Amino acid sequence: MERVCFELEIAPGTEAEYDERHATIWPEMSAAIRDAGLRNYSGFRRGTRVVYYGECHPDVATVFGRLGESEVNTRWAQSFEGVITRLVDDDGNLYLADEVFHQD
């Protein structure tokens, strides 16, 4: 298992929409996340900044590779066009955070 933390930005004024969509996540998207091996997955929003944490089984590359191949994930991402303003860098990589502390 490998822990992951990444951040993204949403457009000002879309906060309520972003929250509502995640409160009513598509069942098939939830299944795709689970099937990809992502567990204990949580998102936190402060203003337009959103931070996600998850536990990837077996690792980050495998989990996000599986999600990237998922048709439902593609549709989910397309539905957020105009809402999410910054998700990946110029090379297409998530804005990952380095783990500096962990305690069980």
3-state secondary structure 38-85: EEEEEEEEECCEEEEEEEECCCHHHHHHHHHCCHHHHHHHHHCECCEE
Beta carbons of 93 and 3 less than 8 angstroms apart:
no
Of 3, 22, 57, 75, the catalytic one is 22
CB within 8 Å of 20: residues ≥ 6 apart = none
57 is catalytic: no
* Catalytic residue positions, numbered: 22
